[in-house]
Amino acid sequence: MAKNAAAKKATEHPDYHFIKVVMTDGTEYVTRSTYGKEGDTLNLDIDPNTHPAWTGGEQKLMDRGGRVSRFNSRFGALSFGKK
Tell me the per-residue pLDDT of 15-45, one tens digit each, with 9 for 90 and over: 899 999 998 888 999 999 999 999 999 998 8
Q: What is the pTM of this model?
A: 0.51
From the CB of residue 80, how many other CB atoms can be counted at a distance below 10 Å? 4
Kindly list the distances between the CA atom of residue 39 and the CA atoms of 14, 32, 42, in Å, as whole numbers in the listed order. 16, 10, 10
- CA-CA distance, 1 to 83, in Å (whole number)? 66
Side chain identity at residue 57, one-letter code: G
Length of the chain: 83
pLDDT in tens, 40-72: 999 988 887 777 777 676 656 666 667 777 788
